Structure formats: C-alpha cells, structure tokens
Amino acid sequence: MRTTTIPGYTYGSDESAKSPVGLDELEKLKATVMFTDDDEQALRLAGDVLEDQVEDVLDVWYGFVGGHPHLLAYFSTPDGEPIQEYLDRVRQRFAQWILDTCRRPYDQTWLDYQEEIALRHTPQKKNTVDGVDSVDNIPLRYIIAFVYPITATMRDFLAKKGHSSDQVEAMHQAWFKAVTLQAALWARPYVRDALW
Ligand code: HEM
C-alpha cells in the first residue's frame, strides 16, 4: 500500500489520534448499517475494480466540490481564495482513503484513523496537517450530506470492469454502508459524549 509517500497520511502511526470507540461499539454500528462479511468481500473486489480509477473518481468529486462555492469554501482562505496546495495535498490522502475503505481491516487501528480523520474536519485539527490558513471547521451537516454524492457517483466506476449487475450492486451497497459507517464515527467529536 502507498503509505509512506503521502504528506500528512499518518495511518497506524503514533501521531494519529486514539479513538475512544472500541471494537464492541464498532460491531454494533456495523450491525446497524447491516454490514456483514459479504460486504467485506464485496469491498475487497471494489478495491481491485477501483485501484486504477482512483484519479478519475477524484476528478468527479473535486469537480463536485469545485462547482459548489459553499463547499469549496472549506478548501479556501477565510476570505474565499481557494488554496490549491491544500486541495492537492488532501487529494492524495483522499485517494488512499478510497483504497483503505476497501482493503483495510476494520480494527482498532482503523478506528483510530477514523477519529483522526474526524478531527481533521473540526477546529481541533483542520488545517494543521497541511499548515494552511483555511476556515477551521466543516459543519457536521455537510459531512452527513456528502455521503450521498460520494456513494451515487461511485456506481459507474464499479460497473466499468465487466462485473455482473449483481456484483456491481453488492459492491455499491457495501461502499454505501462503509461510508455511512465512517460518517457515523466522524460525528463523534462534533457532539458531547453522552449524545453520540
Ligand atoms: C479531509 C473524506 C466530507 C472537506 C478528508 C480526508 C478524507 C475525507 C478521506 C483526508 C483524511 C486524511 O487526512 O487522511 C470525506 C468524506 C466525507 C467528507 C468521506 C463525507 C462523507 C467533507 C466535506 C467537506 C470536506 C463535506 C467540505 C467541503 C475536507 C477538507 C479536508 C478533508 C478541507 C482536509 C482537512 C485537513 O485540514 O486536514 N476528507 N470528507 N470533507 N475533507 Fe473531507
């Protein structure tokens, strides 16, 4: 896996946060989004299907963000100037995340990096990894709402390598569950413990 060359990508390192969420809670959340071993298998296949399409996927997602000034604002200075270096650096970590979502075991190390990614969307860590002067929070409502475009736009890419419609559907559903699961984990730092 491309782990060492991506600036700011700290999966499995001591620099990353530790998640207060444990494996017991993860199992409950997985059950809540109906995530099973079949989904894990479907994600492994999706990883193979997507591996050489990651840049094309990101072109679509970045086009979507770039086409909506209220979203591009989170990659911009407080007075609204997009920061190209920030967009480029985050893009590399986003690419890795697509493959991590498909291929990493969802264990405590994975949970820890979910916490780290969550914090990077909030005032606790946003901008710090890349040392940029951007706005310091991405509202939780946009994290949740972003699950839809990130899922809907994936189907065409999953269908590009000649798999049956049943296989494509299985990969797509597994992807939807995995992203929903992560959005639920990323909500944690936004709300008081007792409410999460
Ligand atoms: C960072 C995914 C919602 C803006 C990231 C990273 C990933 C990611 C994988 C890089 C993690 C790393 O550093 O290793 C997602 C997913 C979302 C979501 C799956 C929703 C389902 C949003 C929204 C925005 C946004 C709605 C607003 C436009 C950013 C920014 C960063 C970032 C600015 C860089 C944060 C930093 O300073 O480190 N996101 N994101 N994200 N995302 Fe999101």
Q: Count Cβ neighbours within 10 Å for each residue of 58-73 and write b for 16 or more, e otherwise.
A: eeebbeebeeeeebeb
CA 17 vs. chain centroid, Å, equals 16
Range of the domain at 50: 32-191
Looking at the predicted complex, does its ipTM rise above 0.85? yes
Q: Please report which confidence band the pLDDT of residue 151 belongs to, taking 50, 70 and 90 as the band edges.
A: very high
The sign of the CA dihedral 15, 145, 136, 185 is negative
Which residue from 54, 90, 124 has its CB within 8 A of the most atoms of ligand 1, so it is best to mutate? 90
How many domains, the chain?
Answer: 1
What is the pLDDT at residue 4?
57
The sign of the CA dihedral 15, 18, 23, 26 is negative
Does the beta carbon of 179 lie inside 6 Å of ligand 1?
yes
Q: Please report which confidence band the pLDDT of residue 193 belongs to, taking 50, 70 and 90 as the band edges.
A: confident
**Integer Cα distance of 82 and 33 in angstroms:** 35
What atom in ligand 1 is closest to the CA of residue 183? 21
**Integer Cα distance of 140 and 191 in angstroms:** 9
Does the beta carbon of 75 lie inside 6 Å of ligand 1?
yes
CATH number of the domain within which 155 lies: 1.10.490.10
Domain-embedded: residue 168? yes
pLDDT in tens, 19-71: 999 999 999 999 999 999 999 999 999 999 999 999 999 999 999 999 999 99
As a whole number, mean pLDDT of residues 140-160 equals 98
pLDDT in tens, 101-141: 999 999 999 999 999 999 999 999 999 999 999 999 999 99
Domain-embedded: residue 180? yes
